[in-house]
């Protein structure tokens, strides 16, 4: 009886008691896990009377534009809508899109709740105007030039986008998350574990592109260049990226530039930006200034500073206002350079431009967790259950949204993050898009496979995404790999969110490759992802040996290697059968031919978008990220290199006709979305 009551309580609060794993097996969730998750959500797991709070209104109402409200008001209740501009309208299908307030009078009592009126479907102009789009996928920090300071920056991104558009006909450049990193060293290398998703990382600033650099006297410029030279020298090697050294040098240079008097027009532009950003930027900059003294986990700060809303925090911010102003100024510089990258991409001819990646979450003690703490769940970590490539599951160490509290806020924290991500972008890739429906939540201290799913109101989450995309006229790609409920992909497709289809995963239940004509249309088609090995490494099974050394395999290495070799052979046979690859090609000794054939295969699918990894077209062998590891492997610190292990710089891509010719051969019939076949 006790377990039955626990199961009922879990169902009331969207906590799964069983789940289907990647093999299709039904797995029961431990009662201890269920109790821990309920307690973290603020529910007493020992009280059978604990129920979802009731009232005439849900935490938030969500209506699709032009459709009759499916929210039923109590008999006799009267409802009206106060729109975002202050108008009062009837509660009917004619409501404009936006975030409004639903006001209901029921039996003499007044109630209100956020009301989101959202697009039924995302229909960006880029997809309406083009039957197919293709683009380059790159990790910006790894793509360096002779002028950058040891890691790739926003000027490097702009030049990569311009080159791929003008020389190759690319429609977009899909990049890693640019989210904010720590304001002091050490800097977390993973772009998927930021301190904030709302703001960006100053690591990506090109120092010399800050207009105030031109106002420095010769001695000041020389001082800044002395900081840059050793980083540039290291950036011309294949050595691992050193973000700490880069940030320490850039921080010193940026402090000099911050003190340079700004021209009147520049000062006016800064003030306009600060006014537009308002309180959230002040809070982020305050966290950054406090973190420099107290550390980057606000949970270890003095108690008086742990709540963003307290008077003590405001007083402390005023005492260190120059530091707060510095961090606000950094975001303005980033905003300008992000805008320039997008404008350069569009001027080069890209139909979409930069597609930013939105990470699934943030550090538990970071800026967003401090700013949006009321909408997050402490004590739980977001992750993923065991799957084929990560057989022990994954724990990403990030707090999940609280389903009810986020809705009660009208999804405002999520809306802020999306608006900032899309401010200077033609699209967004939503990492782990299934998290808008349910998230695998792991109790702190438990292993990654001891979690369970917590469900969200997907109409509110996807509706918020659709509203942001409509306002930005942006393409939306959902990373829907791994364990996904079948209906989820259908819902996303109906709403205009493209899925992600990866060549290595496109196979039937018997492991046979799926013919290109059987792929779905509404997707971004790629050979691999940043969490998978480059094609060269996959073909040679190098990645199997790596995972074996790291203790990540759930079976003997010989079995894993044989399985991968069989998969490669099945794909080789299909490529030969389709006439895309010569029968005598050995995938291990001639991987470039196989890479070219695989991209020709992608071109034969009906996919609306095709992504080509820059690592694959230059022959890189090393993985950017090995899931399931932290310090055991240098994740996110791998510079772009050739198959021979030599560094590949943006300058070479721009100037070397042999490199362009090689890339053209690799891309083959993928072609440009604007009608230019390569």
DSSP class per residue in 439-453: EEEEETTS-GGG-EE
Give the pLDDT score at 394. 86
333-352: per-residue pLDDT in tens?
999 999 999 999 999 999 99
Are β-strands 98-106 and 78-82 bridged in parallel, bridged antiparallel, or unpaired? antiparallel
Give the pLDDT score at 180. 98
Average pLDDT over residues 136-146: 97
Which two tokens mark 546? 């790596």
Q: Find the angle CA(557)-CA(450)-CA(2) to the nearest 5 degrees.
A: 145
555-577: per-residue pLDDT in tens?
899 999 999 999 999 999 999 99
Element (H, E) at 381: strand 380-384
The candidate with the shortest Cα–Cα distance to 525, out of 499, 492, 507, is: 499
Which two tokens mark 618? 């230059």
Give the pLDDT score at 160. 97
Average pLDDT over residues 462-474: 98
Q: Does 43 map to a domain?
A: no
The whole-angstrom separation of Cα 58 and Cα 72 is 10
The whole-angstrom separation of Cα 584 and Cα 564 is 20
Instruction: Strands of 390-518 (E only): list them.
Output: 394-398, 427-430, 438-443, 452-455, 475-478, 499-502
Q: Assign 676 a pLDDT band (cuts: 50, 70, 90).
A: very low
Residue with tokens 């292993």: 447
Give the pLDDT score at 107. 76
Q: Output DSSP code: residue 134.
A: E
Give the pLDDT score at 510. 83
Average pLDDT over residues 175-185: 98
Q: Does 647 map to a domain?
A: no
Give the pLDDT score at 147. 97
Q: Does 597 map to a domain?
A: no
Q: Does 56 map to a domain?
A: no
Q: Does 492 map to a domain?
A: no
Q: Is the pLDDT of residue 398 over 80?
A: yes
Q: In DSSP terms, which residues pair with 100 in a beta bridge? A: 115
Give the pLDDT score at 240. 97
Q: Does 484 map to a domain?
A: no
Give the pLDDT score at 261. 96
Give the pLDDT score at 48. 61
222-237: per-residue pLDDT in tens?
999 999 999 999 999 9
Q: Does 114 map to a domain?
A: yes
Give the pLDDT score at 673. 45
The whole-angstrom separation of Cα 143 and Cα 163 is 13
- Contact (CB, 8 A) for 495 and 121: yes
Q: In DSSP terms, which residues pair with 478 in a beta bridge? A: 430
Which two tokens mark 361? 């979450």
- Contact (CB, 8 A) for 533 and 552: no
- Contact (CB, 8 A) for 161 and 173: yes
Q: Is the pLDDT of residue 167 over 80?
A: yes
Q: Assign 298 a pLDDT band (cuts: 50, 70, 90).
A: very high
Q: In DSSP terms, which residues pair with 134 in a beta bridge? A: 610
Q: Output DSSP code: residue 378.
A: T
The whole-angstrom separation of Cα 517 and Cα 389 is 26
Burial class (CB within 10 angstroms; exposed 0-12, middle 13-18, buried 19+) of 465: buried
622-663: per-residue pLDDT in tens?
999 998 788 899 999 999 999 999 999 999 888 877 777 777
Which two tokens mark 249? 């040098």
- Contact (CB, 8 A) for 169 and 678: yes
The candidate with the shortest Cα–Cα distance to 499, out of 471, 529, 470, is: 529
Q: Find the angle CA(407)-CA(411)-CA(414) to the nearest 5 degrees.
A: 135
The candidate with the shortest Cα–Cα distance to 455, out of 401, 392, 411, is: 401
Structural domains in the chain (count) = 1
Lowest-pLDDT range, 396-405, 480-489, 490-499, 662-671? 662-671
Q: What mean pLDDT value characterizes the chain?
A: 93
Element (H, E) at 487: helix 486-494
The three-state (H, E, C) secondary structure of 317-348, written as one string? HHHCHHHHHHHHHHHHHHHHHHHHHHHHHHHC
Q: How far is CA 451 from the centre of its chain?
A: 22
Q: Between helices 311-319 and 264-294, what is the axis angle to 10°?
A: 120
587-606: per-residue pLDDT in tens?
999 999 999 999 999 999 99
The whole-angstrom separation of Cα 67 and Cα 77 is 21
Average pLDDT over residues 576-586: 95
Q: Could you give the percent of the chain with pLDDT greater than 90?
A: 81
**Segment 541-547 long-range contacts (CB within 8 Å, at least 24 positions apart):** 541/565, 541/568, 542/621, 543/623, 546/623, 546/626, 546/633, 547/626
Q: In DSSP terms, which residues pair with 180 in a beta bridge? A: 196
The whole-angstrom separation of Cα 544 and Cα 6 is 42
Q: Is the pLDDT of residue 672 over 60?
A: no
> What are the distances in angstroms from CA 7 to CA 19, 20, 39, 295?
13, 17, 14, 41
The whole-angstrom separation of Cα 313 and Cα 67 is 45
The whole-angstrom separation of Cα 607 and Cα 613 is 16
pLDDT, greater one: 507 or 262:
262
Q: Is the pLDDT of residue 666 over 90?
A: no
Question: What SS3 class is residue 168?
Answer: helix
Task: Cis check for the bond before 186: say yes or no (omega within 30 of 0).
Answer: yes
**Structural domain boundaries enclosing 74:** 61-118
The answer for 534, left when phi > 0, alpha when psi is -120 to 50, beta otherwise, is beta
Q: Does 244 map to a domain?
A: no
353-393: per-residue pLDDT in tens?
999 999 999 999 999 999 999 999 999 999 988 876 676 78
5-51: per-residue pLDDT in tens?
899 999 999 999 999 887 888 999 999 999 999 999 999 988 766 65
Average pLDDT over residues 454-463: 97
**Segment 385-389 long-range contacts (CB within 8 Å, at least 24 positions apart):** 385/19, 385/21, 385/22, 385/440, 385/448, 385/449, 385/451, 385/483, 386/21, 386/22, 386/448, 386/449, 387/21, 387/22, 387/482, 387/483, 388/22, 389/531, 389/532, 389/627
Instruction: Strands of 593-648 (E only): list them.
Output: 609-613
């Amino acid at each position: 009886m006790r377990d039955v009551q626990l199961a009922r309580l879990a169902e009331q609060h969207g906590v799964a008691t069983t789940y289907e794993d990647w093999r299709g097996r039904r797995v029961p969730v431990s009662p201890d896990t269920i109790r821990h998750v309920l307690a973290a959500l603020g529910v007493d797991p020992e009280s059978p009377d604990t129920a979802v709070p009731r009232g005439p209104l849900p935490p938030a109402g969500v209506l699709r534009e032009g459709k009759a409200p499916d929210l039923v008001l109590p008999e006799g209740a009267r409802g009206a809508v106060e729109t975002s501009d202050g108008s009062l309208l009837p509660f009917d299908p004619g409501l404009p899109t936006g975030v409004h307030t639903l006001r209901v009078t029921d039996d003499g009592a007044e109630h209100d709740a956020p009301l989101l009126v959202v697009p039924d479907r995302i229909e960006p102009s880029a997809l309406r105007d083009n039957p197919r789009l293709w683009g380059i996928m790159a990790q910006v920090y790894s793509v360096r030039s002779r002028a950058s300071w040891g890691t790739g920056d926003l000027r490097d991104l702009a030049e990569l986008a311009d080159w791929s558009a003008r020389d190759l006909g690319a429609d977009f450049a899909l990049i890693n998350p640019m989210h904010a990193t720590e304001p002091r060293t050490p800097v977390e290398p993973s772009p998927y574990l930021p301190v904030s998703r709302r703001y960006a990382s100053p690591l990506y600033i090109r120092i010399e592109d800050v207009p105030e650099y031109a106002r420095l006297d010769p001695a000041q410029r020389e001082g800044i260049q002395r900081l840059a030279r050793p980083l540039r020298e290291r950036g011309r090697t294949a050595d691992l990226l050193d973000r700490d050294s880069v940030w320490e040098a850039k921080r010193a240079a940026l402090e000099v530039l911050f003190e340079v008097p700004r021209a009147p027009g520049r000062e006016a532009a800064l003030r306009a930006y600060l006014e537009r950003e308002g309180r959230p930027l002040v809070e982020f900059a305050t966290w950054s200034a406090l973190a420099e003294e107290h550390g980057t986990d606000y949970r270890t700060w003095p108690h008086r500073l742990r709540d963003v809303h307290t008077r003590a925090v405001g007083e402390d911010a005023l005492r260190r206002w120059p530091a707060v102003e510095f961090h606000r100024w950094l975001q303005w510089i980033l905003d300008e350079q992000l805008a320039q990258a997008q404008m350069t991409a569009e001027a080069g001819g890209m139909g979409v431009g930069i597609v930013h990646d939105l990470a699934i979450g943030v550090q538990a003690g970071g800026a967003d967790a401090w700013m949006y703490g009321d909408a997050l769940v402490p004590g739980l970590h977001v992750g993923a259950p065991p799957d084929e490539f990560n057989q022990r599951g994954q724990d990403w160490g990030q707090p999940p949204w609280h389903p009810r509290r986020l809705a009660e806020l009208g999804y405002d924290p999520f809306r802020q993050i999306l608006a900032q991500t899309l401010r200077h972008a033609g699209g967004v890739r939503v990492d782990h898009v299934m998290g808008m429906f349910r998230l695998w939540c792991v109790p702190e201290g438990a292993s990654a496979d001891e979690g369970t799913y917590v469900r969200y109101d997907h109409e509110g989450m996807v509706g918020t995404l659709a509203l942001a995309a409509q306002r930005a006229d942006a393409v939306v790609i959902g990373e829907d790999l791994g364990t996904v409920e079948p209906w989820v992909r259908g819902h996303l497709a109906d709403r205009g969110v493209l899925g992600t289809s990866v060549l290595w995963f496109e196979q039937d239940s018997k492991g046979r490759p799926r013919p290109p004509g059987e792929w779905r249309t509404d997707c971004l088609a790629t050979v691999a992802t940043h969490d998978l090995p480059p094609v060269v490494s996959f073909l040679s099974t190098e990645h199997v040996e790596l995972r074996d050394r790291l203790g990540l395999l759930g079976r003997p290495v010989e079995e894993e290697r044989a399985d991968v070799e069989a998969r490669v052979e099945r794909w080789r046979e299909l490529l030969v059968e389709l006439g895309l690859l010569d029968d005598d090609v050995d995938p291990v000794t001639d991987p470039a031919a196989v890479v070219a054939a695989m991209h020709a295969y992608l071109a034969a699918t009906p996919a609306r978008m095709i992504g080509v990894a820059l690592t694959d077209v230059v022959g890189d062998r090393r993985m950017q990220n090995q899931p399931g590891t932290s310090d055991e492997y240098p994740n996110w610190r791998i510079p772009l290199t050739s198959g021979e292990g030599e560094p590949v710089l943006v300058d070479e891509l721009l100037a070397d006709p042999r490199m362009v010719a090689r890339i053209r051969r690799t891309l083959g019939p993928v072609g440009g979305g604007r009608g230019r076949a390569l």
